Amino acid sequence: MINKIDVAKEFSARPYGRYRDDGEFSAQRFREEFLLPAFEQGLPFLVDLSGSNRYGSSFLEEAFGGLIRDGITQEQLGLMEIKHELLPSIPLEAKEYIEQAISANDN
């Protein structure tokens, strides 16, 4: 069975902010405490964003775009799947930030 990170249940239904200084449920904390350990396991995993509709763009950029800045490779990114049951624009946006971070990294 694929590992799943249920953001609303395991992290917060009210995520906010980019850095730890911005609040308790910041993107930086989510990335460091949930996403990076999941990549370290080397197994496919699903990031389920359903259950909350309050993902600000800064949160998504820092959580997902920040993975590239933290040294996650494109090959490793293949392990991660992102979904939201109701709002397809949210995973789309997260993927867009990953792409942007990759091209910024390449330049």
Partner 1 sequence: MTIDWFQIFKIVYFLIGHLDEVVAIILTILGWFIIVQNGKRLARKNEAHNLFQITRSLVNNIFETSKHAWLKGKIDLPQIEEHHLMLMCAELEICISKLNNYFDTKIYSQQITDLRQAITLIPFTINGKKLDCHSRIQEINSISSEINALLITGVYTHLNKS
Q: Summarize as ranges the residues that interact with partner 1 (CB under 8 A).
A: 14, 16-18, 23, 53-58, 61, 86-89, 92-93, 96
Question: From the CA atom positions of the chain, what is the Rg in Å?
Answer: 13
23 contacts 63 by C-beta, under 8 angstroms:
no
- For partner 1, give the closer residue by CB, 43 or 86: 86
Taking the complex as a whole, the smallest distance from the CB of residue 101 to partner 1 amounts, in Å, to 13
Question: C-alpha angle 6/7/13, rounded to 5°?
Answer: 125
Taking the complex as a whole, the smallest distance from the CB of residue 89 to partner 1 amounts, in Å, to 4
- For partner 1, give the closer residue by CB, 39 or 55: 55
20 contacts 52 by C-beta, under 8 angstroms:
no
- For partner 1, give the closer residue by CB, 38 or 61: 61
